[in-house]
Structure 1
Amino acid sequence: MRTTLFPRWAGGLLLALTAVFMLAPLVVVTLVSFSGSSVFNLPDGNWSLRWYRAMLRKDGLGDVLMLSLFVAAVSTLCALVLGTLCAIAIEHGRFRGREALLAFLVSPMLMPGLVVGVALLQALRYIGLQDVTTALLIGHVVITLPYVTRTVHASLALFDMRLIEAAQTLGLSRPRALLQVLVPALAPAFLTSGLFAFLASMDNYPISIFLTDARSRTLPIEILHYLEESPDPTIAAISACLILLAIVVLFIAERLVGMRRLAQF
């Protein structure tokens, strides 16, 4: 009995310690954002919204936020379309090298961000692309595409395509059969991959730093600029808002998909 219960107890303890280790920095940053001190200190009983008000008064922060939201939304939409098409081609295509193609599409998740950023910078400079927004969109599609391709491909592997044929025998055209049968079955994969791709785009730093300039910067790059120019707990307030965004995204995914099914992807 002891040999059976001890591994469960040890596994639970290890899981708890891992969760504390990963969440502790987020908790500390959130607490610092409510401090009234001008330096990065934990609140000593003097709780304040001072740095959230200072965040709202930051010059140019609104434009930076809008650019980040635009790039994240558009790149996620493009990744959903391209990733779904790639997943369908890999899962149901009849050509050699499908596994190699899947590994290539997922490779940006495995490679260091700085390596991908330098490669994108050189490639875009070679073709003469100078527009920052377009460069950011291309770069963020590259880093969000693996989330969609991998998730949708995993969901497609569990889908029985004979259901499409059955729907066609009942009178539906193939486009309508795909729309009414395949799309609802893949909706959880679309939602999950889209949400995580959006967060990955919003929080990306190592690639965006190579594709921005002094006039057009994403939110993570602007946070680094604040850290260099005026390091105060306003940065903690901005970071706390990003943490809240991630929590909201996970809550929406849990309510619409369910945490158990979310973990399967």
Structure 2
Amino acid sequence: MRAFFAPRAVASFGFAVAALTAAFMASPPARAAAGDDPAEREARWQDIAKTVFGDRAPKDGAGVIELGTSLRAEDASLVPMTVTLPGKEPIKGMYLIIDDNPSPVAAHFIFGPAADPREIKLRVRVNTYTNVHAIAETADGGLYEAVRFIKAAGGCSAPMGMSNEEAMKDIGDIRLKFPPDAAPGKATQATLMVRHPNFNGMQMDQISRMYTPARYIQSISVTTGDKKVFDLSTDISLASNPVISFGLVPQGEVKIAVDDSNKAHWEKSFPGPQLSN
């Protein structure tokens, strides 16, 4: 499994996370222990943080970043996460890391000048009892963390409940919704929906009883006018048919671009909010 989250160098960082992922998947007894023992969980997190951030240790994020999710997942393959960034300090990016998932780094957002990153909502797969870390990166490179423990099981291997053919239908369809009061030049929330099964290689086809080859979204880019809203790097932990709510300051047409692990590329443009009479 590959990972594509690079605070500095894409290639070297990707190899490091890939190695971490391979080692993690090869040691289920250690994974089970990490899910039960706080010291083991903390050691696991320190390994991940070292791989992802190097010598930059995340600090307590009180007042900078908050993570909202349920203690126990109703559906481990569709776990809602809400990241809130209430502080006044400029935020450069945000990481969502699911410590005990086979590929821990679920999302890395890099925000542009048209972003309003105060709240982000998305859905992820959670494989086992685990800590989830949300990390804010400030403009000066500082890292601030919020952590929540969640009880879930089997989210990465859970099938979609339909045939692969049905799951692939209309792959790459992109939709975007604004609230009724959205206006140009005014911060607002938008909801992005992408039709994609996000197969991770761990799901069994319920008809053929064979494992479905991995095919998952790797990146999503959002711009408005000529300004960047965000670039998202993601991996197999993102839920099927992703739904992402995010803030922006619309400045004309909004363009969405999506790339997946099969080198497929989709783009779609939407008219931005208009001034009401």
Normalising by structure 2, what TM-score? 0.24
**Greater RCO, CA 8 A, separation 6+:** 1
Larger helix percent: 1
Normalising by structure 1, what TM-score? 0.25
